[in-house]
Structure 1
Amino acid sequence: MLTIDITGAEVLGQQGFHRDGLSLSGGLIMDAPVGRAVDLTGFRVLPGIVDVHGDGFERHLAPRRGAMKQMAEGLVAAEAELAANGITTGVLAQFVSWEGGLRGMDFADQVFGAIRDTAGGLVTDLRPQLRFETHLLDDYAGLPARIAEWGVSYVVFNDHLPHARLAEGRKPPRLVGQALKAQRNPEVHFQMLLDLHARRAEVPAALDSLCATLADMGVQMGSHDDHTAEARAAWRARGVKVSEFPETLEAAEAADAAGDVVILGAPNLVRGGSHKGNVSALDVVSMGMADAVASDYHYPSPRRAALMLARSGVLDFAAAWALVSAGPARALGLRDRGVLQAGKRADLVALDAADRVAMTVSGGRVSYLSGDIAARLVA
């Protein structure tokens, strides 16, 4: 672990930048110098990014169907990408969905087992999240035991069934390709979707029971793609207090008004809008309703989103960066990180003059180092 006194750099505190230096030792931020100065003049030192929801790791674990046999190697590659983008805590969001294949239960079992068995040997703090499709009613009974076995402490609920088409008995777009990915006959896949849709009336009561069980286990719960205030209220009544990527302003306002955690997608912010035509994340941020910004499917985006918000004047730098550091740390209940304060974890990222990631430190250990900063650190 690093034992250094960072000098010369602009260090981001809760009120803005200062040049008072930053001391690290034993994996923590210290309240006094430790004796070895490292001059980082020209760099900005910021709290490490806490990515509260990301599935960009999928391409490392299964770049092609059947290509990844050693999943631990895929996690090592995913960690390298996280670190290169200033992420010091990464929540890996893995589906269990009717889509099957890489989003099926068997693959999820492999992913969660690999995270459980591998993450402790990595530098970046990797944490699992289960994204569960609500209409998989036959999986409800065994799910709590699986969650406990996997070591999952964060579950997010989705409903991606194309209900409107299924109600009309019409096949959804891309059904054939989707079925083949799951190694299913397209007609069998379509009938499965119809059967799941037909049982939709059973879902609310099943969710009530499942959420109560998970709450008793201490599992944090979120809903994905909230569309209405009523839907958000129903989730809240089940103890599901996180609203991930609300699709409408109505849903975001309802979550914020009730004190729920609102998480937005960084790609939405960087792009300037949703690729699906949902509410603009920029509007939600501008109205002061965002608690955290997540990578979603693109790990460079949290850094870029925070910088964009600061440069455009939507938020000051400290508030913008808090959306990718302190905010998500609070959302996850991680009180030991997200800010550069004495006693907190030594999680930080150093940006160069072009705002590229030059160094990432997680728990006092270097996870990424590039360019001129390396010579200063080892001198």
Structure 2
Amino acid sequence: MTSLAFDLTGAEVLLPEGLARAPLSFAEGLVVDGPVGRAVDLDGYLVLPGIIDLHGDGFERHLAPRRGAMTDMAEGIVATEAELAANGITTGVLAQFLSWEGGLRGGAHAAGVFAAIRDTRGSLATTLIPQLRFETHMLEEYATLPERLAEWGVNFVVFNDHLPHDRLAEGRRPPSLTGQALKAGRSPEAHLALLQELHARGPEVPAALDALCARLLAQGVRIGSHDDHTAEDRAQWAARGAAIAEFPETETAARAAKADGGGVVLGSPNVVRGGSHKGNASAGALVAMGLCDALASDYHYPSPRRAALALAREMGLEAAWALVSSGPARLLGLADRGELAPGKRVDIVILEAATGRVAGTLAGGRFSYLGGALAGRFLA
């Protein structure tokens, strides 16, 4: 690994104590005190802690752009890193399903994705963290899941339940049944029968989840809940040791998560849009209430930066940027990053002060993205 040493001068730098026009020096991949290398004038730029994306599935289009058309997932991971870096993300959680939906959310595809992450991330500057999104009603998967997670190198699991329970309870066909069946390689009749069987076994799920979560926690796996709707939903997950609540759908669920000590993760596209596209709680409103610890990209990698800059107009840059840097670092237990202080990793995003656009990104002291105008400053 090539080690860079620079003294960044002239920029507005977001330090732990706040935004200041102060020099920032780094060498050997760490922020250090005092001048160490060649000075680079960054007048006109903002230097901020790199974005830590706690949940993103935008990588799916790189790994499977068309059904059956691409088979080299490692190339997709490399392309994903390029997109992450271009959006100022220095640590990215890649969220892959294991779901009854099958196809790109089935077990074989998940194994391929995790193998590609494992095989490529050591050669990339950006830190890539695999996350398994697991559908709760897949009871036949429970017995071997802990061993497969260890094999895949996955230490982060979030539980989902996307079964259309209301429709199934009423004996009606879900509206997306045919499309889901085709993606899974099943007939609509076979897919409906599977959903009905999973729904019918619902009473077995809570006790099975209790036992599974206990095994995962003992194995050192971090677990989280997803789309909690009520305080009771969140209480059940808190009792199982789920320390992270992703995308609570209501203010009530978000307040319950904060009360039980869980970290609340909201979607940055929700902030950028000005509300949820599904009619759930407004992320911007929950942030204003103090009910958010981290903003995640969800399905759109440019959104964490855009959301933080938008929120900065109301709450200040320091507090807003913490939602995409130090906040997610704390939830993931990454004490070596999330702020620009001596001894921390050189995970930095450099923004054009006038536009807020990403001009450059360094991860672990290595450039992962460098725009033309900024490149001229470093190469002059």
Q: What are the residue-to-residue correspondences of 1:201-216 with 2, within 5 Å?
A: 201-216=203-218
Distance across 2 between alignment mates of 1:236 and 1:179: 34
Q: What are the residue-to-residue correspondences of 1:316-355 with 2, within 5 Å?
A: 316-352=316-352, 353-355=354-356
- Matched residue, 2:193: 191
Matching residue within 20, 30, 33 for 2:32: 30
How far does the alpha carbon of each residue in 1:264-294 deviate from its partner, in whole angstroms, 9 at most, with x for none? Answer: 0000011011111001111110001100000
Distance across 1 between alignment mates of 2:228 and 2:16: 31
Structure 1 position 200, deviation (Å): 0.3
RMSD (CA atoms):
0.7
- Matched residue, 2:72: 70
In the alignment, structure 1 residue 370 sits paired with structure 2 residue 358: no
Q: What are the residue-to-residue correspondences of 1:57-136 with 2, within 5 Å?
A: 57-136=59-138
**Post-superposition, which runs of at least 4 consecutive aligned residues in structure 1 deviate over 4 A?**
none
Distance across 1 between alignment mates of 2:211 and 2:279: 33
Specify the SS of the correspondent of 1:270: helix
Distance across 2 between alignment mates of 1:259 and 1:31: 35
What letter is aligned with 1:351? L
Q: What are the residue-to-residue correspondences of 1:212-223 with 2, within 5 Å?
A: 212-223=214-225
Equivalenced residues, count: 377
- Matched residue, 1:253: 255
Distance across 1 between alignment mates of 2:92 and 2:237: 25
Specify the SS of the correspondent of 1:330: helix
Structure 1 position 204, deviation (Å): 0.4
Structure 1 position 96, deviation (Å): 0.3
Structure 1 position 16, deviation (Å): 2.1
Structure 1 position 223, deviation (Å): 0.4
Structure 1 position 334, deviation (Å): 0.2
Distance across 2 between alignment mates of 1:375 and 1:97: 47
Structure 1 position 371, deviation (Å): 2.4
Specify the SS of the correspondent of 2:105: coil
Q: What are the residue-to-residue correspondences of 1:145-294 with 2, within 5 Å?
A: 145-294=147-296
How far does the alpha carbon of each residue in 1:207-256 deviate from its partner, in whole angstroms, 9 at most, with x for none? Answer: 00100000001110000000010110110111111100000110001111
Distance across 2 between alignment mates of 1:17 and 1:195: 56
- Matched residue, 1:3: 5
Distance across 2 between alignment mates of 1:2 and 1:326: 24
Specify the SS of the correspondent of 2:308: helix
Structure 1 position 373, deviation (Å): 0.7
- Matched residue, 1:295: 297
How far does the alpha carbon of each residue in 1:65-89 deviate from its partner, in whole angstroms, 9 at most, with x for none? Answer: 0122110000011110000000000
TM-score with structure 2 length normalisation?
A: 0.98
What letter is aligned with 1:173? P
What letter is aligned with 1:151? G
Specify the SS of the correspondent of 1:91: strand
Specify the SS of the correspondent of 2:198: helix
Distance across 2 between alignment mates of 1:153 and 1:32: 37
Distance across 1 between alignment mates of 2:37 and 2:112: 45
How far does the alpha carbon of each residue in 1:117-140 deviate from its partner, in whole angstroms, 9 at most, with x for none? Answer: 111111111110000000000000
Distance across 1 between alignment mates of 2:181 and 2:100: 10
Distance across 2 between alignment mates of 1:350 and 1:249: 34
Q: What are the residue-to-residue correspondences of 1:10-21 with 2, within 5 Å?
A: 10-21=12-23
Distance across 1 between alignment mates of 2:339 and 2:69: 39
Structure 1 position 179, deviation (Å): 0.4
Distance across 2 between alignment mates of 1:32 and 1:59: 43
How far does the alpha carbon of each residue in 1:39-87 deviate from its partner, in whole angstroms, 9 at most, with x for none? Answer: 1111000000000000000000000101221100000111100000000
Specify the SS of the correspondent of 2:149: helix
Distance across 2 between alignment mates of 1:17 and 1:257: 31
Higher mean displacement: 18-27 or 45-54: 18-27
Specify the SS of the correspondent of 1:102: helix
Specify the SS of the correspondent of 1:32: coil
Distance across 1 between alignment mates of 2:97 and 2:330: 24
Distance across 1 between alignment mates of 2:99 and 2:34: 50
How far does the alpha carbon of each residue in 1:8-29 deviate from its partner, in whole angstroms, 9 at most, with x for none? Answer: 1110012321122100100110
How far does the alpha carbon of each residue in 1:183-216 deviate from its partner, in whole angstroms, 9 at most, with x for none? Answer: 1111000000000000000000110010000000
Distance across 2 between alignment mates of 1:342 and 1:175: 54
Specify the SS of the correspondent of 2:266: strand
Percent of aligned positions that are identical:
68
Structure 1 position 35, deviation (Å): 2.9
Q: What are the residue-to-residue correspondences of 1:295-314 with 2, within 5 Å?
A: 295-311=297-313, 313=314
What letter is aligned with 2:180? Q
Give ranges in structure 1 of 5+ residues lacking alignment. Answer: none
What letter is aligned with 1:321? W
